Structure formats: C-alpha cells, structure tokens
A and B are shown apart, each in its own frame.
Chain A
Amino acid sequence: MRRARRWLPGLLLLTPSIVAIGVFVYGLIGWNTRLALSDKHDEISPQRFNNGKNFVDLWSDASWPGAVKHAILFTAVFVGGALLLGWFLAFLMDKGVRGEGGFRAIYLFPMAVSFIASGVVWRWLMNPAPPERAVGFNQLLNKVGLGFAANDWWQHPRWGMAAMAIPAIWQMSGYVMALFLAGFRGVPDDLREAARVDGCAEWQVYRYIVFPQLRPVLLSALIILGHISLKVFDLIMAIAGKQIITYVPAIATYVEVFDRHDPANGATIATYMLLAVGLLVIPYLVWSVRAERNR
C-alpha cells in the first residue's frame, strides 16, 4: 500500500496521455483494421466482415502493384542516397573545418522546409522538356556541355521514382550528416591515437576503429529514413500530384478516400503501410528500450 502511494500519483498524471494514445493510436488502428477487413466499398452501405478479401483483391487493382514497386525503388534510392551523402559530409567535417557551424546550418536547413514548398521549385528543376526548349537541370546540363546527362527525371516511365528521391535526399541528408557527425565525434581520440601509434595509416584508423563504432548511428538513421520513405506523401503530391507513374501507397490511400470514395480499400492500403513500418520499427524499439535498461 505504501509502495502504491509512491507510484500511483505518477500513473494518474500520465493517465490522460495513456488514454489519448490508447484511443487515438491503438483504438483507431483497431477500427481501421476492422474497416480493412470489411466490404464497405462505398460511404453508405453497412460494414460487414469479408474475411480479408480486400488484402488479396488489392493486388489485382490496376495501380496498386505499381505503387508498391515505386515505393521500393524510391526507398532504395532515397535511403541509400541520404545515408551515403550524409555520411560523406560528416566524414569531410570530422576533423574540423573553418566555419563548421555555417556548413552544418546550410546542409541542415532543407529540413525546416516543407516538401509542399520545396516541391514548387523541384518541379521546375526536374522538368523533362526536350533539348530545344530545355529548362531547369536539363538546361543547366546543356549549358555546361553535359547535355548527354539530360533526362526525363521523375517522368521517366521506369526510373522516375529514383529522380523523385533527389528532393528527399536534399531534405534529409543534412539530418543524417548531423547524426553521423555526432557519431564520429563520439569516438574517443585516445582510441584513434592508439591505432596510429600501433602503425595504422589514417585510412586504417577509419576502417578499423572509427567506422565500426558508427553502427548504432547507422541503424538509427536507417530506421528513421526508412519509415519516412514508406510514408512519402507530401513530396509526391507537390511534384506530381496523383499521376500513375509516381503512385505510392500514401497517394493510393488518399485517392481511395477522396476520389474513389472506397473506405475499405483505403483502410486496407493503410494497413499494409502500417505492417511495413511495424516490421521495420518494432524490433528496433524493443531493442533500444532493452539496451537502455541494461545500461
């Protein structure tokens, strides 16, 4: 009883948030899942359980398999690109550089800008107009004699989503840079020095001492970029709208709800998105909370 008096006030203070998360996160996920398992394909008919039929039928939808393919290509290029560029920027700055604060601020500022805003200009820059009236990047490439590199950008039927990842890389690589820079700086100088005294060349110090210590940072960055990537919505809305060539799951949910007025299919797609994010995030969460407790 005395012990309960110690922790009960805390639990009470947290109760409003527990209820809010319980209802708005878990309750609504449950509600959404039920909707996904029903045949409510319009806004008026009653909701009846249909045995998960939507989850199978979705794959014969004209646009869904494409949406999945696009999401995978986008994720691969975006996550890979942002990790590589962010890591490289941090690597360049690791040993300190004059005006480091300024560099950091410039690499990081795109994070403060919404995709809806930056999309306005990316749409111009990645315009696929043919050479004689080329604009944006293509015009720039022609001017500097790299005309052969001019391309259709996001409107390329096969690799368009790779170009779509460019603005996303622009926005997030500064963040990855900040994570990696903190990681680099977290490696004790003694450790590097000890390796040098043992006769390691500078590249060996990085290869065998510094990089292995960055694994936890890499994992965090991977999870954060991955879950952003699976949910990408604003960027595509701003640049391409609801076009089929850049269809992704988040756009598909929007189209099902607002254009096709099909709540059950909208909920089904959302459930697939949740499953994808869950597969990525749950093991990570369990791992990091456990790791912290053991510390």
Chain B
Amino acid sequence: MSAAPTAVSERIRAVAPGDAGARARRRGLALRLLRLALLLLFVFVFLIPVYVLIVTSFKTLNEADPSTAWSLPKHWSMEGWQAAWTALRPGLINSVKIAVTGSIISALLGSLNGYVLSKWRFPGADAVFTLFLFGMFIPYQAVMIPLAGLLTRMELVGSISGLVLAHVVYGIPICTLIFRNYYVTIPDELIEAARVDGAGMIRAYRSVVLPVSGPAFAVTLIWQFTSMWNDFLFAVFLGAPKSWPVTVILNNTAGSGAVAVQYSQQMAEALLASLPTLIVYILLGRFFMRGLMAGALKG
C-alpha cells in the first residue's frame, strides 16, 4: 500500500493520451465503488443471523415466533433474557471455571514447551514437535471412549477438573506451536549471553524470555479461552449435570431437541452464551487474528 508504485503507474498513464488517462481513472473509481458495494453486501449477509437473534430475544413470549423473525419487536421485553439468565447461570459459572483455569494452565505449559523446542533443543526435538502437532488435528472421537474410561479410573469423570485436564492436555499442541513460533524470533544470542553470565535454563527463561512473552500469552489465552468456552464434544462425553458448561445447557434448552422452551428465551440464551467470547474478541481482536494465523502453522 506504499505510495511509490502508484506514482509509477500514474507516470505510465501520463504518457498515454489524456483522454485514455481520464477514462482509466473513471474506471478505477467505478471499480473501487463496486468493491465497496460488494463488501457492504457481505457485511449485511454476515449480520443476518445476529439481527434475527437480537430482535427475537427482545420480543414478548407471544410475539417471538419464526413467522415474525424479520420484524422488530412491537413491545420490547426482557422476559426472554431473564429466563435465559436463570436457565444458563449454572452453566455459565462452570464454563468460567473451566475456561479461565484451563486457559491459564495451557498458556504456562505452552510457554515452557515452546521455550524448550525453540531454545533448548535436544536430539529428536523436531520429531517430538511433529508428533505433538498431529495431536492438534486428531478427531477427538478417536480417543473419547478410552478417555472416558481412563478418567473414570482417575475418579475425574464428570468433574470440572476432568474437563480442565482434557482441555489442557489436548491444548498442548496448539499452545506449544504458538509459543515456539513466537520464541523462534528471539535472537539465540540473548539466551547465549545469559548462559555466559551463568544463568541456567530456568533463570534464562525468567530473565530473558518471559518478560517479552506478553503477545504470545495474549494469543494463547484468547485462543484457549474461546475453544474451551465453545467446546461441546468433551462436555457431552466427559461431563455430568453438575459440571456441564454453558454449551451443553444451551443445547438441552434451545437445541434441536428442545420444544417446550420459549423462542425469545432460546435466542437470548444463544446470545448470552456467546457474549463472553464475543467481548473477548471485540476487545482483543487483533491478538485473536494472530492466534488464527498460528493455527495455520505460520509464525
């Protein structure tokens, strides 16, 4: 987006007869407007589900119905939101416990792992890293049945700790990847200098690496918080009513099987369950973007 290339093409156009130059400029303007119009059209399309969610959630019980999905509420009402809050509260509390604890542990582990795999490499480190990464892609169904058995033996099945353990373990690959890719950019000389000064591995980590790790922590915390908050698979296979996170309760009360629940409540529940991740995303979206890039194995 630098200015220089445009200047060059302007000069080339200037060589052409003035008439053609004006036509080219007009065409450029038309293309820009077309691009903008298309982008705005897609904004509109992307926001359709949100619009329906919001207007329906504020309708009264009688008014909230698929047949009036597109119209604004005639009478704005908080009934749906109140019912949603009551229904989801236990799940929201569980989700906060799981996602906050889990993402902090994940980030700490990821940081140490990334440090070792970028700065204290051992023979076979690449192979270990590749084996870790495969764990990121596996369908968790392929471990779920024995995992439930293992957690039962560890007396962790159905508990919050069991869910945190599962999230942390299966989060190791992505967290290690994010931190490793970040630490690769720290010059080896800095670690080497600390080592010459007599610092061991942990000292060098605390004094050189940890102080500059802020951005990687932000990315990892956001990424893990979002995926733990939105998890459904682990929760249905390994959870129990007392440890169910918000997604399971949402699915039970507003999912495809729920028929007796008012529509305004269902929509308010869907919004309420999404608010924490949306707020995190709106406030820290830039870091979220970088986290996504790390997911693509790009540093």
Contact = CB atoms under 8 A, between A and B. Distances in A.
A118 interface: yes
Interface string A119-158: 1111111010100010110011001000000000000000
Given A135-B66, A285-B133, A189 B5 contact: yes
B49 interface: yes
Interface stretch (A51-59, A74-82, A174-182): A174-182
Contact of B232 (A18, A20, A237): A237
A172 to B, nearest CB: 11
Interface in B87-138: 109, 112-113, 115-117, 119-123, 125-126, 128-135, 137-138
A24 B170 contact: yes
Interface string B179-205: 000000000000000000000110000
Q: Which of B56, B120, B267, B288 has the most CB of A within 10 A?
A: B120
Contacts of B128: 14, 18
Contacts of B251: 116, 237-238
A286 B127 CA distance: 9
Interface stretch (A60-68, A206-214, A274-282): A274-282
Contacts of B126: 289, 293
A96 interface: yes
B247 interface: yes
Contact of A221 (B140, B273, B277, B296): B296
Given A139-B67, A253-B144, A270-B145, A112 B277 contact: yes
B112 A250 contact: no
Contact of B289 (A18, A178, A253, A281): A178
B43 interface: yes
A88 to B, nearest CB: 8
Interface string A4-46: 0001111101101110110011101101100100000000000
Interface in B14-55: 35-36, 38-39, 42-43, 46-49, 52-53
Q: What is the interface of chain B mostly: helix, strand, loop, or mixed?
A: helix
Nearest to B149: A31
A104 B289 CA distance: 10
Nearest to A177: B42
A253 B141 contact: yes
B169 interface: yes
Interface stretch (B73-81, B156-164, B211-219, B254-262): B254-262
A87 interface: no
Q: Which of B36, B122, B200, B288 has the most CB of A within 10 A?
A: B122
A50 interface: no
A233 interface: yes
A78 B123 CA distance: 41
A117 B274 contact: yes
Given A107-B42, A241-B257, A17 B113 contact: yes
Q: How large is the interface on B (under 10, 10 to 19, 20 to 34, 35 or more residues)?
A: 35 or more
Q: Which of B119, B138, B170, B292 has the most CB of A within 10 A?
A: B138
Nearest to B293: A182
Interface in B202-256: 226, 229-230, 232-233, 236-237, 247, 250-251, 254-256
Interface string A75-102: 0000000000000010011011110000
Given A18-B128, A125-B52, A289-B130, A112 B120 contact: no
B144 A108 contact: no
A1 interface: no
A237 B255 contact: yes
A288 interface: yes
Contact of B46 (A133, A170, A250, A257): A170
A112 B288 contact: yes
Contact of A123 (B8, B43, B256, B280): B256
17 contacts: A10-B119, A11-B116, A97-B36, A118-B274, A120-B53, A121-B52, A125-B48, A125-B49, A136-B69, A178-B289, A182-B298, A231-B139, A238-B256, A249-B141, A257-B237, A273-B141, A281-B134
Interface of B: 1-2, 4-5, 8-9, 12, 35-36, 38-39, 42-43, 46-49, 52-53, 56, 66-67, 69-70, 109, 112-113, 115-117, 119-123, 125-126, 128-135, 137-147, 150, 166, 169-170, 172-173, 176, 200-201, 226, 229-230, 232-233, 236-237, 247, 250-251, 254-257, 266-267, 269-271, 273-274, 277-278, 280-282, 285, 288-289, 292-293, 295-298
Given A109-B46, A135-B69, A257-B144, 11 more contacts: A7-B120, A29-B138, A89-B39, A125-B49, A170-B49, A179-B292, A193-B9, A197-B8, A270-B145, A289-B130, A293-B126
